[in-house]
Structure 1
Amino acid sequence: MQSWTGRGSRFLFCALRSFTRPTKRQFTTSDPLYRSKRNAKHDGAGSDQKRISKAASKTQPKTTRRLLAAERDFTRLTEAALRDVKFKYEATGELPAAWSQFERQVLNACHVTESKTTAKWGTLQDLKKSLQRAYLSTGVSGLRDELEYLLYAEDLTKTYSAPSLEAQQKLADLRYPAEWYPNARSMQRSIHLHVGPTNSGKTYHALQRLKSSKSGFYAGPLRLLAQEVYHRFKDDGIPTSLVTGDDVKAPEDGQPPRITSNTVEMVSVGQEYDVGVIDEIQMISNAQRGWAWTRAVLGTQAKELHLCGETRAVPLIRELCALTGDTLEIHRYERLNGLEVMQKSLKGNLNNLQKGDCVVAFSRVGIHALKADIEKTTGRRAAIVYGSLPAEIRTQQANLFNDPHNEYDFLVASDAIGMGLNLSCKRIIFETLIKRLPGGLQQLTVPEIKQIGGRAGRYRPAGAKEGSEDDEPNVGLVTSLEEVDLPYIQQAMEMEPPPLRAAGLLPPNSVFEKFAAYYPKTVPFEYLIRRVIEISTIHPLFFLCDIKGQLENAEIVDSTHGLTILDQLTFVAAPMDHKSASALNTPAAFADCVAENSRGRLLDIPHLNLEILEQPVSGNKDYLHELENLHKAIILYSWLSFRFGGVFTDRTLASHVKELVEERMVRALTEFSANKTLRKDASLKRQIALQKQIHAQQSIASEGLSHPSGEGEMMWYGLGEEKSQETTADGTPEAGIEGSPEEEIDTDSDLTDEGFQESVEREDLELEEKDHTQ
């Protein structure tokens, strides 16, 4: 068997979802990028959706000639990648004996079509999809990496998996997740589902019930929300604790906490509560983090469990309650104030802004450019809120905007405001509908537009008391900065997103511990993760979440010798940064500390660039990049200090360093500036790049790539396609794969800079450099 190590690319594995679709799983939709053909066949959606589908079929007809051309394109790409991999092995004299058979199997997979339904063809279809996902994720380099992994994994599977396949499949049987939590199943729980549009008071009523309970918890999707509830209850004199991935706060007077405010990943399933509140329940179908909501819903021992979210979650929660035997009561809410979409945009003129307006943008540079433009054009101040800002600064900025008696008339924000941040906005104005994610550019989904737009006309500002003058309803207005985006917003606000169909799931840690016993310790942990996902079977009510972050972290695990299986599971769930090779040096150093059981003193870790704190504050992008890397490294150190307290002992010092970094980040970011012409140029280039990206993806991908949950569906206006919603992630309460690092790094999906198309990234950097020269 040939040796195999990490290939030095930014992403070790690129086929990041399950590779074998469970045989009993019935999907009702295909992947969001490739849905127009099937939309033309089915009329089950509403009239709006049918109209969009017909328009889509006209704008992007998928003819037989085009499909054949796409197949030839992908085959040529795969053949070239195979030649590269073969040359690499021949250069080292390690070409496997089974290369010819492997090459023939890959080429056969490239030609297989969706119409082939036998077991033999199904295996080739799965192989083709994994290669397509690899290419769509990171291009040709990702395709080469995937081929190299598949060649190596084939030997491992034949040697260690095939002889005990039946036993391993039993371990990977995930069809009955409700039985993973016997204590919760022994209780007769009462589930209260609070559903309604944004600004309907659903979370407020659930929190009022929590406040009157003897013991309880709140679980939110973001640390900002957990901190907001923590401070609200604490200010009311209720003993409250805060538990997030990298921060734990107990009541100051030493009393036992009556209420615990958590991020959803941190909710305890081993403690009994009278009342529990789980916010944003629709995220149970999120492709990355849905497993955390599923775990909280199925596993928490709360006599009374309140779930708050969108109406589209009702059918799925009904199914889950039928599965668990819990009683369900549905509370429906109507919006407390009116919401209208304006008939005109601002025509790109910032002079048309009014006091109380919130302008939404989707990049760090873009947000600061807008702030500078607004203040220069109007002569009035603008507050600023986005995910990478420290929670304390976001809250302070929100309070400045909410206060009608100061000079902060406007707010410039990311889609961080779409999830629970309490703001008093008269109008929501979309600067653009395109944001960047690790996979490239993406247009906002219908649920995202409705949720962000729904923040207009907040019924009660943050800090307002019940019965105050702020209780007077007002009509919220939604529009766009540029005229081109307004028709899309109008259409989206009128549409009803489809109901959620499945809940996210990940195997519990015990599965990986037992699974590892069938393999020698030298087998890469990435292979174990992927093999478990590959052979797992699941109930039709669930789907396997994307394990991209865990696979990336596993590269660090495999490069460190001496970690136990529990150590490996912990690091796989840790909030690591994968933007650059240099950023990976720090988590590798942390892993070495654990493997060697040495003291992880903060000042003794060489890869931490603490010297950056001694440099003058600058708006230079390299300076900002170093600050961001240090901030993420400190977050990771704090996160690990709660899992390996005997190794990472400088938690207090790390907290102080984090504050220093955040202070310098805010000061540095405020030095960015841009003029209106450059900002418009950047917006236009994003639109062009998005269209190019979609066409490139359409020419490669097959229709079989699907996301089963139905979460975050969106039409691609004028292109006839749909796209899945992405979001950030949070930490994990226990060592294991059930974790996803991004939210712990405190970056929202709109501000994640990795994985951009190189050409687009280069254009934006050029714009930034022009900004500094003007």
Structure 2
Amino acid sequence: MMLFPPFEVIEWLNSQFENDNDAWGHRYPLARECAFRREEEERIAQKKRLLYIEIENTAAKTIDEDFEVFYLFVRNNVACKLANDIKDNPKYSTVEEPYMIEEKLVEQGKFDTSKYTTMGTFFQELTGSVHKLYQWEYETYKSRYKTLLDQYVDDLVANWILDKLSPTVLKQYEELMEEELTVKTLRPILGDYVKALQSDYFLELEKEYVEDLVRLASIPFEITIHQQQYDEDLEGRERRKQEELAEIQRLKEEEARMVEDIFGREYSPSTGRNIRYVLHIGETNTGKTHHALEQMKKAKTGLYLAPLRLLALEVYEKLNKEGVPCGLKTGEEEKEVEGANHLSCTVEMFHEKSFFDIVVIDEAQMIADKDRGFSWYKAITKANATEVHIIGSWNAREMIVQLLGNSQIEIHEYTRDIPLVVEKKEFNIKHTKKGDALVCFSRRRVLETASKLENDGHSVSMIYGSMPPETRQKQIDRFNMRETTVIVATDAIGMGLNLPIRRIVFLENEKFDGTRRRRLTSQEIKQIAGRAGRKGIYDVGKVAFTKDIRTMERLLEQEDILISTFAIAPTSSIFERFQKYHRDLSKFFELWYKFESPKGTKKASLSEERELYATIRDTEVEGRLSMMDLYGFLHLPFSKKDPELIKQWRETMFAIVKGKDLPEPITKEGTLEELELSYKALGLHLLFLYRLGRGTEAIYWERLRAKISDHVHERLKTDVKALTKKCRSCGKILPWDFHFPICDACHAHKKRRHDHYYEGYQ
């Protein structure tokens, strides 16, 4: 418009008519007539505007005055419709997910009005029809009643207001619009007013009680009578609301008392027991466990509680080798040794009623672990012995002392004889030397790194979490016997393994903790780095990092943050008290979630148990087993993230309750992953056998599992060197230290497709 040349009216008039009177004489009357016509049109338009304003004012006034009268009509109409629907229509449900038409509708008989409170609860029911809202789905009564109410209010208000308009307005409308004012022509004028009423009335309708409307349907409509009934129902509704709120509060208080009774002071620290406690507190690799075990060996009876099955197995073999008969119990295996008065267990196998002269509890700082910590809490506070040796890190000392209350406590502190030295130069894989332990934080990265080192001429042992413990021990033995010169491991190396390691190398400064990828904590770095150095072999322990050396060194030297909370989990006495009130685990999980953890404690999430429970909830498994037995099976220590193992667990549970033979675990001897999964499947089968007291039958499966473990060990020795890292998308071979599962080209292609999709979407 700015570039458009201006139109000069005077110049145009002069050029057209100044010297042409005839043309002007012809044009002037036409222009005059057009001007008068426009004035008339504007006058009529103004009259129409004023007329619409008058109609709208009348509508607004009428709606304001008769708002409740309209609702009485609506209420009566809905009441009659509701009574007929409840009388004539069946109740439906879907087999699976409600509303989606892929699921089958099932009739469930007639409606029972006592099952509903407000109309809002009834509106969730299905009508049996299909309609398209956001997609094709089953229609609910809410959708149907909303449609019916909107139509009824539209007709009611339009007719009502049409009767309220004066004859003058009606006549004026007919003259101006050249048609009669009817309900149909009045609706567009009332549009916004009616929409507001429809919304208000439906919200009010949802609050109505079903039984009030059903009763109302039998009362003939008369405004005075229905107004009186509505007032009474409003009073009754308010009274009922207060009663419901009072009932909710009563139930809430009753539940709070029940939660207090069930959980109560179950987790209060001890006030002192007639036991001598010996605390072995210090850094990693300082001989704490060795000193405690030496005392246990001298006792007539002894119990060692380990954080890992591998460590329980190591102590079992060590004591028997040294002439101290010792049994083994880990949940997946039980080995009885003739004449044994000592027992090596995983901490979860602790039983408070068994007495020992000396109990040794290893890695006590694990008390803070959110999922397993309660096993340490129970062992520390419930150990039945003359003397209890507790082994832990510096940061656990204060918490353990607090838990032991006024008991007799003797504390031994340990410091490293071998200094730790952080190398100032960033580590490169080419710098790998004999005696190094390279640490990363996934099985995949361990195998890829080991493959790179093997191809560079190193002989390598490997340690990672999902590796069978027997295989792990053989890998450790190869390193100890100098068959291999380098170890590649996850942080599993940081717990209880004493190896002749010259240098710990952190290939990564971050790890995925199950929720997010985060930087290593000071305590994690210390736990792993502490494995460097071996008295008489390496009198200096070295630590190296691939990047951020200053930051990681500062974390290594940082003062320990004291453990301020310990983990708690359900106990047998809690279950006993719970069963005074309820008998199903779903309610137990609900109350556990509501239970407020006492100060200084944190609850086990029980998320894995809840997810596993969901697979057998409301089945004969739940119906036939006692709650304690069922929870025991839910709590079996196996990998609950693996679909194949969950399937095996579920099938075994059904076999148990049906009295059938337990399904045999599926074993495959193909890839390394299949062998490791087979080992886990056999381990789960053994957990069931030992829990069911079928130890003799377990012997065969233990032998088979040992064979699988041997296969894993041999496969690691032969296959790792040939391992190549490939792009998950195109199969292209990638560098061993490439950080992503797909190559750059595939990532760029995927990004282009992603961007193109969103461009099209926009």
Question: What's the TM-score once normalised by structure 2's chain length?
Answer: 0.61
Distance 1:3 1:496 in 2: 61
Partner residue, 1:609: 666
Distance 1:487 1:187 in 2: 47
Does 1:374 pair with 2:457?
no
Output one character per residue of 1:632-664: Cα deviation in whole Å (capped at 9) or x when no partner: 222111111122236x97423322332343344
Does 1:357 pair with 2:436?
yes
Q: Whose helix fraction is larger, Structure 1's or Structure 2's?
A: 2
Q: Superposed, which structure 2 residues align to 1:687-706 within 5 Å?
A: none
Among 571, 576, 579, the residue aligned to 1:508: 571
Output one character per residue of 1:426-446: Cα deviation in whole Å (capped at 9) or x when no partner: 000111122334324333221
Matched residue SS, 1:387: coil
Output one character per residue of 1:91-125: Cα deviation in whole Å (capped at 9) or x when no partner: 585999xxxxxxxxxxxxxxxxxxxxxxxxxxxxx
> For residues 475 and 513 of structure 1, do their structure 2 counterparts lie closer, same or farther at Cα, with a shift above 3 Å needed?
same
Q: Superposed, which structure 2 residues align to 1:99-110 within 5 Å?
A: none
> For residues 186 and 338 of structure 1, do their structure 2 counterparts lie closer, same or farther at Cα, with a shift above 3 Å needed?
closer
Question: What's the TM-score once normalised by structure 1's chain length?
Answer: 0.60
Q: Which has the higher contact order (CA 8 A, sep 6+)?
A: 1
Matched residue SS, 2:389: strand
Assess if the C-alpha contact under 8 Å between 2:275 and 2:386 holds in 1.
yes
Q: Superposed, which structure 2 residues align to 1:483-632 within 5 Å?
A: 484-519=547-582, 525-536=585-596, 538=598, 540-558=599-617, 560-561=619-620, 562-600=624-662, 602-603=663-664, 608-610=665-667, 612-613=668-669, 617-618=670-671, 624=673, 626-632=674-680
Q: Superposed, which structure 2 residues align to 1:748-759 within 5 Å?
A: none
- The amino acid that maps onto 2:612 is N
- The amino acid that maps onto 2:571 is P
Return the offset for 1:629. Answer: 3.6
Partner residue, 1:653: 700
Among 453, 456, 464, the residue aligned to 1:386: 464
Does 1:320 pair with 2:403?
yes
Distance 1:93 1:581 in 2: 36
Matched residue SS, 1:651: helix
Assess if the C-alpha contact under 8 Å between 1:599 and 1:649 holds in 2.
no
Partner residue, 2:739: 682
Structure 2 unaligned blocks of 5 or more: 1-90, 98-132, 144-243, 726-732, 752-762
Output one character per residue of 1:33-62: Cα deviation in whole Å (capped at 9) or x when no partner: xxxxxxxxxxxxxxxxxxxxxxxxxxxxxx
Matched residue SS, 1:678: coil
Return the offset for 1:368. Answer: 1.4
Assess if the C-alpha contact under 8 Å between 1:203 and 1:279 holds in 2.
yes
> For residues 486 and 554 of structure 1, do their structure 2 counterparts lie closer, same or farther at Cα, with a shift above 3 Å needed?
same
Output one character per residue of 1:709-753: Cα deviation in whole Å (capped at 9) or x when no partner: xxxxxxxxxxxxxxxxxxxxxxxxxxxxxxxxxxxxxxxxxxxxx
Return the offset for 1:576. Answer: 4.4
- The amino acid that maps onto 1:682 is H
Distance 1:4 1:534 in 2: 31
- The amino acid that maps onto 2:275 is R
Assess if the C-alpha contact under 8 Å between 1:553 and 1:571 holds in 2.
no
Return the offset for 1:582. Answer: 4.4
Among 333, 357, 366, the residue aligned to 2:414: 333
Does 1:432 pair with 2:492?
no
Return the offset for 1:193. Answer: 1.1
Q: Superposed, which structure 2 residues align to 1:412-451 within 5 Å?
A: 412-451=488-527
Matched residue SS, 2:371: coil
Assess if the C-alpha contact under 8 Å between 2:362 and 2:390 holds in 1.
yes
Distance 2:330 2:616 in 1: 24
Partner residue, 1:264: 347
Assess if the C-alpha contact under 8 Å between 1:556 and 1:587 holds in 2.
no
Assess if the C-alpha contact under 8 Å between 1:427 and 1:457 holds in 2.
yes
Does 1:227 pair with 2:313?
yes
Structure 1 unaligned blocks of 5 or more: 8-85, 97-153, 460-470, 689-758, 764-774
Matched residue SS, 2:736: helix
- The amino acid that maps onto 2:578 is F
> For residues 578 and 332 of structure 1, do their structure 2 counterparts lie closer, same or farther at Cα, with a shift above 3 Å needed?
closer
> For residues 441 and 317 of structure 1, do their structure 2 counterparts lie closer, same or farther at Cα, with a shift above 3 Å needed?
same
Distance 2:356 2:589 in 1: 33
Among 653, 667, 671, the residue aligned to 2:719: 671
Assess if the C-alpha contact under 8 Å between 2:303 and 2:360 holds in 1.
yes
Q: Number of residue pairs matched?
A: 509
- The amino acid that maps onto 2:574 is V
Q: CA RMSD in A?
A: 3.7
Return the offset for 1:230. Answer: 0.8
Partner residue, 1:218: 304
Q: Highest CA radius of gyration, 1 or 2?
A: 2
Distance 2:434 2:289 in 1: 27
Does 1:403 pair with 2:501?
no
Matched residue SS, 2:378: helix
Output one character per residue of 1:618-638: Cα deviation in whole Å (capped at 9) or x when no partner: 46xxxx2x4444332221111
Assess if the C-alpha contact under 8 Å between 1:267 and 1:296 holds in 2.
yes
Return the offset for 1:293. Answer: 0.6
Return the offset for 1:234. Answer: 0.6
